[in-house]
Amino acid sequence: MSTPTVTEVADGVHFVQGKAVNWTILTEGDAFTLVDGGYPGDLDAVLSSIERVGRTLDQLAAVLVTHAHVDHIGSLPRLLDGRDVPVLTSETEARHARRDFLEQATPLQVAAASWRPRVLSWSLHVVAAGGMTKAGVPRATGFGAGPLDVPGHPVPIVTPGHTSGHTCYHLAQAGVLITGDALVTGHATVARTGPQVLAGIFHHDAAANRRSLAQLRSLDGDVLLPGHGAAWHGSYADAVEQALA
Ligand SMILES: [Zn+2]
């Protein structure tokens, strides 16, 4: 098992970098919220990150999902097995998580669209990490408007494009924005780092994703936590400008 890197980027906000995808743990008192959960093969890494922030699975209050791709929800079915923990995301993304529909490119489709050696090693990782499963999270439900009454009190910002119900989470007090795959700072299939959007093949609607980023520009804060790549420090307006360049 690879040990994930856990960094406390703000008080109670722990950014976890797994082998190919990130997730975030928000602690408040004894309880915590998990935002995204890696590939099926990341289950041990998710458990180890929970231990690293001094919590146990019994203290998990809620799971938030940026979007229902396998690299972000893969560990959840086994992680939550037998536990009464809510899994929340936008109404549309909850339907995606329940697999009423599936908006995810397969490694073959990605390779067909842009063949590079890095795509091969990424594809092998997807397969090894259990990424070929189409399994969803049947218990996923949509949240209402405004801040969520869960540890960290994130404000959801629905940013359709990467998937139809993709959602970012803003932690106004901590000055942190969790961007999922709407805006990333790197990916296993590309060498470039820094704020960027994923290649078109990864998005359900790449143009809609670019339009959605406008919502992030004026948010308060200076830490950006992407679904792929390193944490980024700076204004969100700069991050969006770089990503759209
Ligand atoms: Zn992803």
pLDDT digits (tens, 9 = 90+) for 186-240: 999 999 999 999 999 999 999 999 999 999 999 999 999 999 999 999 999 999 9
72 alpha carbon – ligand 1 mean position (Å): 6
Q: State residue 111's pLDDT score.
A: 85
46 alpha carbon – ligand 1 mean position (Å): 16
69 alpha carbon – ligand 1 mean position (Å): 7
Residues 6+ apart with CB under 8 A from 61: 31, 32, 33, 85, 150, 151
Residues 6+ apart with CB under 8 A from 4: 16, 17, 18, 19, 42, 45, 46, 48, 49, 52
Q: State residue 1's pLDDT score.
A: 55
In the chain, what are the domain boundaries? Answer: 5-244
Higher local confidence (pLDDT), 20 or 114: 20
Q: State residue 3's pLDDT score.
A: 86
Q: State residue 221's pLDDT score.
A: 98
35 alpha carbon – ligand 1 mean position (Å): 13
120 alpha carbon – ligand 1 mean position (Å): 16
b/e sequence 10-34, b meaning 16+ C-beta within 10 Å:
bebbbbbbbbbbbbbbbbeeebbbb
Indicate the pLDDT class of residue 144, thresholds 50, 70 and 90: confident
CATH architecture for the domain at 5-244? 4-Layer Sandwich (3.60)
Q: State residue 107's pLDDT score.
A: 87
Indicate the pLDDT class of residue 53, thresholds 50, 70 and 90: very high
DSSP for 54-71, written as a single string: T--GGGEEEEE-S---HH
142 alpha carbon – ligand 1 mean position (Å): 20
Mean pLDDT calculated for residue range 169-175: 97
181 alpha carbon – ligand 1 mean position (Å): 6
